Structure 1
Amino acid sequence: MKNQPATHVLVIGYVWPEPRSSAAGGHMMQILESFLTQGWEITFSSPAAIGEHKADLAALGIRECTIELNNSSFDEFIHELAPDIVLFDRFMMEEQFGWRVEKHCPDALRVLETSDLQSLRDARHQRLKDFLKHSPQADDFSPLFAPALEEEFQLMADTDLAKREIAAIYRCDISLMISDVEIQLLTEHFKVPAALLHWCPLMVDPPAEAFTPYDDRAHFLSIGNFRHAPNWDAVLWMKNSVWPLIRQRLPGAQLHVYGAYTPPKATALHNPAQGFHVMNWAEDALQVMSAARICLAPLRFGAGIKGKLADGMLCGTPSVTTPIGAEGMGDEQPWPGAIAHSATALAAAAVALYEDPQAWTMAQQRGRELLAQRYTTHIHGPALVERLQHCRDELAQHRRNNFTGSMLRHHLHKSTQYMAQWIEAKNRVL
C-alpha cells in the first residue's frame, strides 16, 4: 500500500510570528506545531518586514517565503506550490490574496486565523473614548464591562471594519476563533453559521514541576506588546490611577512593566521613585512572570483571550484584571486571582492578594486547574486537525451550504482582482 502524500499547508501571515512578543504570535506557533505533529508540510509566507523577535521557522522544518502585495508573482508561486490548505493570518490577508488563491488553487481548503475579532476590539475602543470624553475622571468602568452581546452587536453592526471582517469569515471555509464568547456573538447576533467557525483557544499544558512559592516572589508585573492598543491603554491607566492607589497601601511596592517594541512615550513613564519600572522587552516572559507575585492586567477594552493571563496560570502567578481581561478565559470557573471594575477595586484586590499567602496559593491552584480544563494541547491540537480534515473531505457540500460566502467571493474578489491589477500596472509605469 502506497503512502499518502503529506498535506501541504501555506500560511499567509499578516506578520512573521513572534511568539515572545504577542499572544497572536504564540497562538500561530501553536497552530503550526499542531500541523507539524501530523507530519504536514508547511510554507509560511508574508509581505511584512521581518521583526527583530521573529521565530526561527526554518529550524522547525518550515519553509519561509517573502511575498508581495498587488504583484502577480504570487500567482506563479501558489500555482507551483499547489497547497492543500491555505491559512490566512488575519482577514486583511484574505482580502489581499483570497482571489488569487481561489483562482489558482480552487480546491485548497481556505482557513482564516482571526486571532481576535478586530471589529469588536475597535468598537470597544471607541466606546471607551466616548466614555472618557464625558467622564474624564471616572474611576468605575462598569458600564463598559457589562454590556450584553446584543449591545456589542449594535456597536459593531454599522462599522466598515465589522462588515469587512465578517465578510472574510463567510468567504473562508473555516475560521479559527480563539474566544468562545466571540463565537456566540457571531452565531447569535451576526447569524454566522456555526459550521464556518471552530473554537481554537491557546494550546498550552500545565507544568509538571512545582511553581515558585509565595515567599520566593516579589513585586507586581505587567506585560504586553506596546504596539497593541489595549496594552498601552492599560499601562496608562495603571500609571495614572491604579498604581498610585497600590503604593498608598504598599509604599515599597514595585511594578515591572515589560513589553516588546517599547516606544519613547512608554520609557518616559519610567519612575523608580514611584516604584514604576518600564523594563522594555523580556527575553524570557515566563521567567519574569515566575518571579513576580502578582500579574496586573487592567484592560479597559480588547477582544479575544489574553496570552499574558494564560502565561500567569502557566507560571502560577495570580492575576488581577477586568471583565474584559477575563472574557472567554474562565467559562464560569473561579478566576485565579481577582476581577474588578474600577481602579479603586483593582488596587484593593491586588494589595489583598499580594499580602495573603493563603488566598494567593488558592488562586495559583485555580490557574493550574483552569489550564487543564480549557487549554490543553493534546485536546485542541487534534481537534483542529480533525475539523480541517473533515471539512476537506466534505468540501464541495460544505461550500454549497455556504451560498452567502460564495456570493461574497464572487463580487469582492472580482473588484479586488481589478484593483490589484490596476495597482500593479501603475507600479510598473512608476
Structure 2
Amino acid sequence: MATEQPAQRSPIHVLIIGYVWPEPRSSAASGHVMQLIDCFLEQGWQITFASAATEGEHKADLAALGITEVAIALNHSSFDAFIRELQPDVVVFDQFLMEEQFGWRVEKHCPNALRLLESSDLQSLRHARHQAVKERLDGKPDADLTDYFQTSRDQLFTRMATTDLAQREIAAIHRSDLSLMVSDVEIGLLTELFSVPAAQLHWVPLLVRERRDVPICPQRFEDRAHFITIGNFRHAPNWDAVLWLKNTVWPLIRAQLPSAQVHVYGAYTPPKAAALHNAAQGFHIMNWAEDALEVMGAARVSLAPLRFGAGIKGKIIDAMICGTPTVTTPIGAEAMHDELAFPGAVACDAQGLADAAVSLYSDQGRWEHAQRDGWQLLPARFGHDRHCAVLIERILLLRATLQAHRTANFTGAMLRHHQHKSTQYMSQWIEAKNKNA
C-alpha cells in the first residue's frame, strides 16, 4: 500500500520595495538590505525586488541571485495591477518613505501580506542631531561639542517630537506589522519615549558571517600603514566627518606624526571632496574603493569622526572584520558594542580623537588589544546565523498570528485608517494631474 506523501508547501514570496536599487559596496544601508535578502534566500524563499529609483553605477546584480527585478512608478495605479497579480506573502518597505507611498496600495490589494519596515537608521534622530550640531557650531567649525555628545534621551525626545519627520517616520513604524531596527539603542528610544510597543520592533543589526568567509587581511601591526576613513559622500554625516577631519582633527595628528597619511575613500566623490586632496599634508582623496575590506585591511587605524548620525556604522564593522582598530566619537560607537569593549577608542573632541589615533598608531600592544576586542565583538553581537534564525522565526510566527497581532496594534490601525486615506487621495490626485499635463 502506497504511503501518502505530505503536501509540499510553496516557498514564501517576499516583495522588497526599495527606496534605491541596492549598492552594498557604496553604503551600509544597502549592505543591510542584501543581508536580509541572504537570510530569505537561505530559506528558499522567492524574492521580487521593485523600485522606482534610477539604477546606480554600483548596483548589485540581483538577477544573478535569482531575484526578479521590477521597475515601478510613484503615484501610479500600475502598481495596483502589479501587486494584485504578484500576491506576495511578505512585503518589505525599504525606508518609511516607501511605506508612505505604497503601504495603502499593499494593504488594499494584499491585505494578508505581512508588512515589514526596514529602517537602516532612525532618520528623525539623525536629522535632530544634525540640527543640534549646526546650532552649536554656529559658524565656528572648531567649537567644543563635548556637552552635545552627552545629550540625554529626554533631550533628544524633546528635539525630535515636534518635527514633521519624526511624526511621519514613527507613524510608519506604528502602521507596519514589524519594523526591523539595526540599533537596539533606537529600539529603547522608541519604546521608552515614543511609546512604540516592543511587539512592533525587531533588532537585526548589520550581520557578519564567520571570519573564514571574508578575505584575509594583513593581521600584523608592522604590515599595516596609514590611516583610513571611508563612507558614501552623499551621506551627510560622512561628509561632515571628512570636513572635521580635514580642518581640525588631521592637523592635530600630523603635529605628532609629521609623515602620517590618511586615505579617504567614498562612493560618488563630488568635486568639493576631490578639492580637499593635499598630498603635502598627507590628506589623500582616493575616491571609490572597489574592495572596501582590502583597503581597510591594509590600513593601521580607521578614523570615523562622526558628529551626528544614527543606526550603526558599517565602516566600523568592516574595520573589525579586518582587524583594524577604529577611533570615533560616541555617535560612531553608539549601539556598536553594548557592555563589551569598543575595538579602538572613543573621544568627544578633536584633541582627544587625535591623541587616541596617534596612540593606537604607535603603540603595538594597544593596537593588538583593540584588534582582539573587535574579533571578540563580531560573533557576540553581529553573528549572521543567530540573527537570521531569530528573524525568520519571528516572521513565521507573525504570519501565523497576523490578525491577533494587528488587533492588538490599535494605534497602527487608527493611523492606517486616517493617514492612508489622505495618502491615497493625494496619490490619486497626482496621477490624475500627471495624466492631464
Smaller-chain TM-score bracket: over 0.9
The Cα of 1:122 is off from its aligned counterpart by: 0.1
> Mean alpha-carbon deviation: is it higher for 206-215 or for 291-300?
206-215
Q: Following superposition of structure 1 onto structure 2, how do residues 43-192 of structure 1 map, counting pairs within 5 Å?
A: 43-133=48-138, 136-138=141-143, 140-192=144-196
Which digits, 9 at most, give the CA deviation of each residue in 1:50-85, with x for residues without a partner? Answer: 000000000011110000000100000000000000
Question: 2:138 aligns to what SS in structure 1?
Answer: helix
Task: Identify the match of residue 282 of structure 1 among 289, 296, 313.
Answer: 289
Letter in 1 for 2:129: R
Q: How far apart, CA to CA, are the structure 1 residues paired with 2:287 and 2:248? A: 21
Is contact 1:234–1:297 with CA below 8 Å preserved after alignment? yes
Does 2:364 align with 1:335? no
Select which of 255, 262, 265 maps to 2:269: 262
SS of residue paired to 1:295: strand
Distance 1:358 1:110 in 2: 49
Tell me by how many angstroms 1:362 deviates: 0.6
- Aligned residues: percent identity? 65
* Aligned partner of 2:357 among 347, 350, 353: 350
Aligned to 2:3: none
Q: In structure 2, what residue type is equivalent to 1:20?
A: R
- Quick one: distance in 2 between partners of 1:15 and 1:210? 31
CA distance in 1, matches of 2:119, 2:162: 20
Partner SS state of residue 211, structure 2: coil
Q: Does the CA-based 8 Å contact 1:41-1:62 persist in structure 2? A: yes
User: How far apart are residue 137 of structure 1 and its match?
Assistant: 3.4
User: Are 1:303 and 2:306 matched, yes or no?
Assistant: no
2:278: which partner in 1?
Answer: 271
TM-score, normalising length: structure 1: 0.99
Paired residues, what number?
429
Q: Is the 8 A contact 1:206 1:314 kept in 2?
A: no
Q: Which stretches of structure 1, 4 residues or more, deviate above 2 A after TM superposition? A: 134-137, 208-212
- SS state of the match for residue 308, structure 2? coil
Quote the Cα distance in structure 2 between the aligned partners of 1:406 and 1:83. Answer: 21
Q: Return the alpha-carbon distance in structure 2 between the equivalents of residues 51 and 269 of structure 1.
A: 25
Shift of 1:211: 4.8
Residue in 2 that maps onto 1:425: 432
Listed as ranges, the gaps of 5+ residues in structure 2 are 1-5
Is the aligned partner of 1:42 residue 2:47? yes
Q: Is the 8 A contact 1:206 1:368 kept in 2?
A: no
Structure 1 pair 111/146, CA: closer, same or farther in 2 (3 Å)? Answer: same
Amino acid at match of 1:35: F
Distance 2:48 2:266 in 1: 29
**What displacement does 1:205 show?**
2.5
One-letter code aligned to 1:157: A
Q: Which residue of 2 aligns with 1:374?
A: 381
CA distance in 1, matches of 2:88, 2:142: 54
How far is the alpha carbon of 1:143 from its aligned partner?
Answer: 1.3
- 1:3-38 CA-to-partner distances (Å, cap 9, x unmatched) read 101100000000000000000011000000000000
